[in-house]
Amino acid sequence: MPSTGRTARPKSFSRYAPLVIWLVVIFAASTSEFSAANTRSWLEPLLRWLNPHITRRTINLVHTLVRKAGHFTEYAVLAFLAARAFITSPNERLCRTWFIGAFLLVSLYAFSDEFHQSFVPSRTASIYDSFIDIAGGVTVLLIIFIWRRKRMRDEVRKG
């Protein structure tokens, strides 16, 4: 039975929908709702509840670490979803160059995200945050690359 466009759409949707949704999540996280003041408003009471004797300096340090870990993690997830979509793409070229494609998407989105934040009054744009974002993405891409390479070597040995 010949293939119809009906089967291609759901596969394409399930391949790219998580990636597009995550791009929207990152964009939403760049709004004033996730500004440092707003994240501090829930993190500080939590830290004081966990340790009533916590110092202001420690609160500031934990707050900074949580925010930077958030940058790293959200772009690690983005890289995973981009790699997943590109590796399984029916487009042969995209499938072959999945690493470069995912790296470019992560990098361009990281820079555009910080640019977007420069227009949000309660946010501060920082090139360093873009570097943290890209580091999160590259970390996951390298893990996937190494894992795929090892898997292919194992298949050749079994082969």
Q: What digits encode the pLDDT tens for the residues 13-26? A: 888 999 999 999 99
Query: Tokens standing for 71?
Result: 């940058």
Mean pLDDT for the stretch of residues 42-51: 93
The string of DSSP letters for 103-145 reads: HHHHHHHHHHHHHHHTTSTT----HHHHHHHHHHHHHHHHHHH
Least confident of 77-81, 119-123, 135-139, 155-159: 155-159
pTM here is: 0.86
Q: Are 67 and 87 in contact (CB under 8 A)?
A: no
Its domain, for residue 36, covers 5-158
pLDDT for residue 142 is more than 80: yes
Q: So what's the pLDDT on residue 10?
A: 53
Q: How far apart are CA 1 and CA 143, in angstroms?
A: 39
Q: So what's the pLDDT on residue 83?
A: 98
Q: How far apart are CA 39 and CA 57, in angstroms?
A: 16
Total number of domains in the chain = 1
pLDDT for residue 38 is more than 80: no
Q: So what's the pLDDT on residue 35?
A: 73
Q: So what's the pLDDT on residue 34?
A: 74
Least confident of 32-41, 46-55, 83-92, 122-131: 32-41
Q: What digits encode the pLDDT tens for the residues 99-120? A: 999 999 999 999 999 999 989 8
Q: How far apart are CA 129 and CA 134, in angstroms?
A: 9
